[in-house]
Amino acid sequence: MTETEPTGAPFPHQVFAADVRAADYPPPFSSAEVIAGPTDAPDERIEVGVLIVGGGPAGLACAIRLGQLIEEDPATAERLGEVPVALVDKGKQPGSHLLSGAVMNPRAVRRLFRGRPEQLEGVPTYGEVPGEGVYLLTRKRALRIPPPPTLRNHGNWIISISQMCRYLAEQAEVGGTFVLPETAADRLLVDHGRVVGIRSGDKGRGKEGEPLGNFEPGSDIVAGVTILAEGTAGHLTGAALDHFGLNGREPQIWELGVKEVWRVPKPLRRIVHTMGWPLRKPARYREFGGSWLYPMGDEMISLGFVVGLDYRDLELSAHDLLQEFKTHSFVRAILDGGERVAWGAKTITSGGWHAMPRSLGAPGLLLAGESAGLVDLARLKGVHYAIESGRLAAEAAFRSLQRGENPGRIGAFDGYDAEVRNGYLGKSLREVRNMRQAFEKGFFVGGGLASAMTVSKGKFPPKEFHNEPDAAAPLLRTDRASRYPAPDGVLTFDKLSSVFASGNRTRDDQPDHVRIERKVPRDVAEMWAWMCPAQVYEVGEDDGDGTVEVKLTPSNCVQCGAITARGGRLTPPEGGSGPEYTLT
């Protein structure tokens, strides 16, 4: 069935409904595979007091706070054993897998370093937001619009999350945490209904899984409390939510952001957000998103394009949208004479309040940061939520390990859960809980609803909106790809050289880490190929029965998480693989 848009509308073209959804071709994966008991002999297991999975702002804030608590309360610290706090991260070093805009509300980091001014001084930033502008783009113009109340950033800091977390990791180590990069968290160890730690991933396996000459098996790391701070599309987090029945009222949904950092001759003196072009407004396309441009001092700029992963057009490509976006005269003027120095991609958890886990704790387990669904998409804020929840998680974990307490009992972390939901984090999220979903109605209606929500602090409209899983988006085709600019290597770039610019040096003689149905209708395979910013998926041979083979190049993967949203399942490859972000 085809329809033609009314003439005079932007993008007049044919729309072909593909009548197929990625959700109908689920990946060969089950959360049960990720849950297991310890298998190492007891004296081979690595014992730690508190184990943190994830070296992002939530995990690191948690580690730093634990370091402070250990100093203040040596008696309880003793109960944590020889290795009181360990933090594992799958990237090559802290910051390698971190990517964000970012403009951060400094409230949480100030609280974290309260009474420690030198540590607060040391947080690397690009200064306070100097000014801001919000624009609605059309193909040729940039119309300045008053910033929606959710996008007011006065007093906030511009940061690189990768740089900031390299600094936070040093502080965590100084405070006594063992930071263990290049360590994938492969399985969640559960014993008698209680989380007792994780199993780290093997290293040195070949493409078929066979052990190579330098094969090093993973280890069981057992802990009194395990804190999952894996960020977006977390591997253990997804399995834990299923296993403990903690999935939120609504299914989780995601956005995909593609980012570049540019060195420019002309400083940008304010932060900029845009909406509109090159995204399409009609509701049938479900194209929600926009861009950012943030100065990083006088010499560099962070820019990126974000699009909701519930989009319908199977040729939509966030990477190419960013390239197309740069061709707008407004953006060209900002980048003029500059050169790209970094590239990356990452998903953002955007289900908000409704999709938050039913509880942020389970026996022996705490969820913090984006793993706990704590992202405020309307305000484009997640970093300070991560830091604050990490800090609270540290306090909850520490309390639970005090004499007379038991972190393994049911309800041990109800207090933490309540603190997050009832404190300023929960309050902010509740106010904007329906905003993202309102945009299903398209840009104008959605925008109107969003304003109403903001003004009423979430009380209006009275009904609650629902999330549809991103993978259930019915696909359609509109020849969108013909409008993507051809890469010129100066302003616009192809995916492969971008993957190279991310510092990705993943060993490709290792098992495939992406779980995906390999035989699917062409439309689904094409959707994946366009979706992936790193060109992991390619449409392979036609099987003659209406399906095609999906070809994978997993070594390109920058672990953005988009495949988990759109019908596959990302699992962590060998520790140390993936991008090596430093400026994102």
Partner 1 sequence: MSTLVFLEHHGGVIQKGALGVLARALALGGDVAGVVVGHGVADAAASAGAFGATTVYVVDDPAFEAPLPQPRVDALEAVVAASGAENILFASSVLSADIAAGLSARLDAGLNWDVTDVRIEGGQLIGKRPALGDTVLVDVGWTSTPRIALVRSGAFEPVETGGSATLHDVAVTLQDFSTAAQIVEQAHEQASGPSIEDADVIVAGGRGLGTADGFRLAEELAAALGGAVAATRAVVDAGWYPYATQVGQTGKSVSPKLYIALGISGAIQHKVGMQNSGVIVAINKDPNAPIFDFADFGVVGDLNQVAPKLAELVRARTA
Partner 2 sequence: MKIAVCVKQVPDTTSVRRLDPATNRLDRSGEGAINATDINAVEEALRIKEAHGGEVVVVSLGPAKALDSLRKALAMGADRALLVSDEAAAGSDLVATSYALAKALERENADLVLFGQQSSDSDGAVLWSAVADRLRRPLVSQVADLGIDGATVTGKRQTEFGYDVITAPLPAIVAVSDAINEPRYPSLKGIMGAKSKPAETLSLADIGVEPERAGTRGSRTTVLALAPPPPKGDQVKIEDDGSAAEQLVDWLVGRKLL
Name the site residues for partner 1 (rule: CB under 8 A): 494, 496-497, 499-500, 505-509, 555-556
Instruction: Produce one character per residue of 548-584: b if its CB has 16 or more CB atoms within 10 Å, e if not.
Output: bebebbbbbbbbbbbbbbbbbbbbbbbbbbbbbbbbb
Q: Which are the contacts of 482, defined by CB distance < 8 A and separation ≥ 6? A: none
Q: Which is nearer to partner 1, 337 or 489 (CB)?
A: 489
CA–CA dist 355, 350 (Å, integer): 8
242 binds, among partner 2, partner 1, none (CB under 5 to 8 A by kind): none
* Residue 333, contacted partner among partner 2, partner 1, none, CB below 5-8 A by kind: none
* Phi, psi (rounded to 5 degrees) for 217: -70, 155
Length of the chain: 584
| Binding-site partner at residue 496 among partner 1, partner 2, none, CB < 5 to 8 Å by type | partner 1
Would you count residue 498 as binding partner 2 (CB under 8 A)?
no
Instruction: Name residues contacting partner 2, limited to 184-223 (CB under 8 A).
Output: 200, 203-204, 212-214, 216, 218-219, 221
Residue 107 interacts, among partner 1, partner 2, none and using kind-specific CB cut-offs from 5 to 8 Å, with: none
Q: Kindly tell me which of 391 and 495 has the beta carbon lying closer to partner 1.
A: 495
Q: Which is nearer to partner 1, 6 or 489 (CB)?
A: 489
The one of partner 2, partner 1, none whose footprint includes residue 68, by CB under 5 to 8 A per kind, is: none
Query: Does 93 sit near partner 2 (CB under 8 A)?
Result: yes
Contact of residue 200 among partner 2, partner 1, none (CB under 5-8 Å per partner type) = partner 2
Burial of 533: CB neighbours in 10 Å, binned 0-12, 13-18, 19+: buried
From the CB of 405, what's the least distance to partner 2, in Å? 26
The one of partner 2, partner 1, none whose footprint includes residue 83, by CB under 5 to 8 A per kind, is: partner 2
**Cβ proximity to partner 1, 441 vs 505, nearer residue:** 505
Nearer to partner 1, 96 or 274 (CB): 96
Helices 57-72 & 161-174, crossing angle to 10 degrees?
Answer: 20
Residues 341-360: x/- map of binding to partner 2 (CB under 8 A)? x-------------------
Amino acid at 193: G
Residue 509 binds which of partner 1, partner 2, none (CB < 5-8 A, kind-dependent): partner 1
* Residue number, 395 or 549, with CB nearest to partner 1: 549
Q: In terms of CB distance, is 184 or 412 closer to partner 2? A: 184
Q: Distance between CA 446 and CA 192 in Å, rounded?
A: 47
Structure tokens at 235: 């591997």
Q: 192: burial class by Cβ within 10 Å (0-12, 13-18, 19+)?
A: exposed
Which value, to the nearest 10 degrees, does the dihedral of the CA atoms of residues 488, 490, 492, 493 take? 80
When CB distances are held under 5 to 8 angstroms depending on the partner's kind, the choice from partner 1, partner 2, none that residue 136 binds is none
| Residue 445 binds partner 2, judged by CB under 8 A | no
* 18 or 80: CB nearest partner 2: 80
Q: How many CB atoms lie within 10 A of CB 43?
A: 6
Instruction: Classify residue 178 by burial, with Cβ atoms within 10 Å: 0-12, 13-18, 19+.
Output: middle
Q: Which does 145 bind (CB under 5 to 8 A by kind): partner 2, partner 1, none?
A: none
At residue 265, the 3 state secondary structure works out as: coil
In terms of CB distance, is 199 or 515 closer to partner 2?
A: 199
Q: Quick one: 158 exposed, middle or buried, by C-beta within 10 A (0-12, 13-18, 19+)? A: buried
Cα–Cα dist 66/53, whole Å: 14
Residue 497, contacted partner among partner 2, partner 1, none, CB below 5-8 A by kind? partner 1
Residue 504 C-beta: closest distance to partner 2, Å: 9
Residue closer to partner 1 by CB (options 3, 509) is: 509
- Torsion region of 19: left, alpha or beta (phi above 0 gives left; psi -120 to 50 gives alpha): left
Q: Which of residues 49-88 bind partner 2 (CB under 8 A)?
A: 83, 86
CB of 580 to partner 2, least distance (A): 6
d(CA 511, CA 204): 10
Q: Is 178 in the site for partner 2 (CB under 8 A)?
A: yes
> Judged by CB, which is closer to partner 1: 254, or 493?
493
Spatial distance between the Cα atoms of 217 and 205, rounded to a whole number of angstroms:
9
Burial of 337 (0-12, 13-18, 19+ CB in 10 A): exposed
97 binds partner 2 (CB under 8 A): no
H or E element that contains 113: none
**Residue 38 found at the interface with partner 2 (CB under 8 A):** no
The least distance separating partner 2 from the CB of residue 297, rounded to whole angstroms, comes to: 16
499 binds, among partner 2, partner 1, none (CB under 5 to 8 A by kind): partner 1
Out of 441, 505, 507, 522, the only residue in the binding site for partner 2 (CB under 8 A) is: 505
Does 481 help bind partner 2 (rule: CB under 8 A)? no
338, exposed or middle or buried, with CB in 10 Å at 0-12, 13-18, 19+?
middle
Burial tier of 421 (Cβ tally within 10 Å: 0-12, 13-18, 19+): middle
Q: Say what angle helices 424-431 and 414-422 make with each other, to 10 degrees.
A: 50
Contact flag: residue 467 with partner 2 (CB under 8 A): no
> Where do contacts with partner 2 occur on this chain (CB under 8 A)?
46, 83, 86, 93, 178, 180, 183, 200, 203-204, 212-214, 216, 218-219, 221, 341, 503, 505, 580, 582
